């Protein structure tokens, strides 16, 4: 892909930025009812983009981006889940039209963590195949209303997290063994939903591109011991290959299948699924990257039950990388070269174009008068952009770069203290104030970086 097709963009997601809780016919999402510790912001107001849409798009134009990566909120488009909600559809029509009028290509993701709470209550959400049909119905609605103007589409954001985070998907099974089994079943259903969606997309959206957005795993062994090398390979299969191999080739890595079968966790499938999964390949892969992961083999008798579900196994566990600089919110460290390593590997395995859909640094930024100085973020972004340019120069097809996030938003689990934005949003966890927008130093830096690359 030629460099001139490259898009400078920025990224957000609906439940983290929109707010507008219960407004315009929006149904109740899992993210609206989850238990959030006292003192941490929820999604009800978030960054209040629902009421600041024009202002946000004017800020994007001023910034000079040509790609806005956002997500559709399932419950804004489908209300409680079953019926189209015209007011919600109108909100996104406005968003898309404003983007296009300002020279910004809209790049929505269909599923970014939230889903109708009613589905969790009615049929246990993704645990049931009914959810696959509901997702396709929702995707069909989006393609029908927006497919004439929207040409870049993400399917599922970070299936690793989407299938594992119970507060987002409603898997509240108490028995830990059953919970794991359900997680793998839910993930399988998400893959089916993705493939059916791509099948439909080919028939309904002309000249469009669609693909998954993965949580890219750049896995390093903690040491060169064979046990740690094997642990790192296992981690690569369980944290990334199981999702992307499914998205692209329609099959799981053998090590993953074997392990799940031995544990009694292999999902229930139907014979006719195989054909659907094998076909309907995506057009690109979206890359979310914050840092690499260091992995080691387990010590004898080590307890993994407190780790996130995807680390709860006997095959690998989290190690520590002493070579990386760590910060309060970037506890795995900062590793720009990891972006290059990971994307190179993904290209070699799947040979598909790639777009960086998320990449950013979290910090508890402070407002200083009417300014925010965030040189640490500028440094992080510059170093990662350099790695992107290195990939492009070497001939890898990278068609865009979107920092996470365009503006401060509710972090997935840590509220408003953990900020990623190029634009400061004046609110705290406990006081939503007016959600005033104040471009940070990194905003002005990114604007210049875009200008100078033209
Ligand atoms: C990605 C998600 O996992 O990382 C985003 O796609 C999320 O939704 C981002 O916000 C940063 O993670 P966190 O937990 O710091 O918000």
CA of 275 to the centre of ligand 1 (A): 33
This prediction's pTM: 0.97
Alpha-carbon span 391 to 401, nearest angstrom: 12
Instruction: Give residue 21's Cα distance to chain centre.
Output: 21
Alpha-carbon span 190 to 109, nearest angstrom: 14
The 3-state DSSP class for residue 260 equals helix
Q: Atom 7 in ligand 1: which residue has the minimum CA distance?
A: 412
CA of 223 to the centre of ligand 1 (A): 28
358 is catalytic: yes
Confidence of residue 4 (pLDDT cuts 50, 70, 90): very low
392-438 tens-digit pLDDT: 999 999 999 999 999 999 999 899 999 999 999 999 999 999 999 99
Q: How far is CA 303 from CA 6, 172, 227, 300, in A?
A: 46, 21, 18, 9
382 is catalytic: no
Task: Look at residue 454 in the predicted model and tell me its pLDDT.
Answer: 77
Q: DSSP of 186-248, one letter per residue?
A: HHHHHHHHHHHHHHHHHHH-TT-EEEEEEE---EEESSS-HHHHHHHHHHHIIIIIHHHHHHH
345-399 tens-digit pLDDT: 999 999 999 999 999 999 999 999 999 999 999 999 999 999 999 999 999 999 9
Task: Look at residue 5 in the predicted model and tell me its pLDDT.
Answer: 64
Task: Look at residue 2 in the predicted model and tell me its pLDDT.
Answer: 37
CA of 356 to the centre of ligand 1 (A): 14
The per-residue b/e assignment along 254-284, b for 16 or more CB within 10 angstroms, e otherwise, is ebbeebbeeeebbbeeeeebeebbeebebeb
* Mean pLDDT of all residues belonging to the chain: 96
Distant-in-sequence, close-in-space partners of 316: CB < 8 Å, separation ≥ 6:
231, 232, 234, 235, 238, 295, 296, 297, 298
Residue 12 clears pLDDT 50, i.e. is over it: yes
Task: Look at residue 22 in the predicted model and tell me its pLDDT.
Answer: 94
14-31 tens-digit pLDDT: 999 999 999 999 999 999
Q: Any idea which fold 7-216+236-290+333-452 has?
A: TIM Barrel (3.20.20)
CA of 234 to the centre of ligand 1 (A): 24
Give the residues surrounding ligand 1 with Cβ less than 6 Å away.
Answer: 13, 16, 157-158, 161, 215, 288, 358, 362, 404, 411-413, 418
Residue 85 clears pLDDT 70, i.e. is over it: yes
240-299 tens-digit pLDDT: 999 999 999 999 999 999 999 999 999 999 999 999 999 999 999 999 999 999 999 999
Structure-block tokens of residue 378:
């500028």
Structure-block tokens of residue 451:
């200008």
Q: Where are the domains of the chain?
A: 7-216+236-290+333-452
36-57 tens-digit pLDDT: 999 999 999 999 999 999 999 9
316-331 tens-digit pLDDT: 999 999 999 999 999 9
Residue 119 clears pLDDT 60, i.e. is over it: yes
145-175 tens-digit pLDDT: 999 999 999 999 999 999 999 999 999 999 9
Selecting among 114, 158, 194, 222, the annotated active-site residue is: 158
Ligand 1 mutation target, pool 41, 47, 411, 414, most atoms within 8 A of CB: 411
């Amino acid at each position: 892909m030629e460099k001139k097709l490259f898009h400078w963009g920025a990224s957000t997601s609906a439940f983290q930025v929109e707010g507008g809780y219960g407004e315009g016919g929006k149904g109740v999402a899992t993210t609206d009812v989850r238990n959030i510790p006292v003192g941490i912001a929820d999604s009800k107001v978030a960054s209040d983009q629902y009421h600041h849409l024009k202002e946000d798009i004017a800020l994007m134009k001023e910034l000079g981006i040509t790609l806005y990566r956002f997500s559709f909120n399932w419950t804004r488009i489908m209300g409680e889940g079953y019926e189209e909600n015209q007011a919600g559809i109108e909100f996104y029509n406005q968003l898309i039209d404003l983007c296009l009028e300002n020279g910004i290509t809209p790049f929505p993701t269909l599923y970014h963590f939230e889903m109708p709470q009613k589905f969790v209550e009615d049929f246990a959400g993704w645990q049931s195949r009914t959810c696959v049909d509901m997702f396709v119905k929702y995707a069909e609605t989006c393609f029908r209303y927006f497919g004439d103007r929207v040409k870049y589409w993400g399917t599922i954001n970070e299936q690793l997290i989407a299938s594992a985070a119970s507060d987002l998907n409603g898997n509240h099974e108490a028995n830990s063994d059953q919970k794991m089994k359900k997680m793998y079943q839910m993930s399988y259903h998400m893959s089916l939903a993705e493939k059916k969606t791509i099948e439909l997309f080919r028939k309904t959206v002309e000249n469009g591109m669609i693909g998954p957005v993965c949580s890219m795993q750049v896995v390093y062994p903690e040491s060169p011991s064979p046990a740690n090398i094997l642990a790192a390979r296992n981690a690569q299969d369980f944290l990334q290959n199981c999702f992307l191999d499914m998205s692209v080739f329609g099959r799981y890595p053998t090590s993953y299948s074997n392990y799940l079968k031995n544990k009694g966790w292999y999902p229930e499938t139907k014979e006719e699924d195989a054909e659907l999964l094998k076909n309907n390949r995506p057009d690109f892969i979206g890359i979310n990257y914050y840092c690499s992961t260091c992995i080691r083999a387990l010590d004898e008798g080590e307890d993994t039950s407190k780790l996130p579900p995807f680390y709860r196994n006997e095959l690998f566990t989290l190690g520590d990388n002493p070579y990386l600089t760590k910060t309060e919110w970037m506890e795995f460290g900062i590793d720009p070269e990891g972006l290059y390593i990971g994307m190179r590997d993904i290209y070699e395995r799947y040979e598909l174009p790639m777009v960086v859909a998320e990449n950013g640094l979290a910090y508890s930024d402070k407002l200083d008068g009417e300014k925010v100085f965030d040189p640490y973020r500028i440094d992080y972004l510059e170093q990662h952009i350099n790695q992107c340019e290195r990939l492009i120069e070497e001939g890898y097809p990278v068609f865009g770069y979107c920092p996470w996030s365009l503006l401060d938003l509710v972090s997935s689990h840590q509220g408003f203290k953990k900020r990623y934005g190029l634009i400061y949003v004046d609110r705290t966890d406990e006081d939503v104030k007016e959600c005033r927008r104040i471009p940070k130093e990194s905003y002005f830096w990114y604007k210049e970086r875009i200008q100078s690359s033209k």
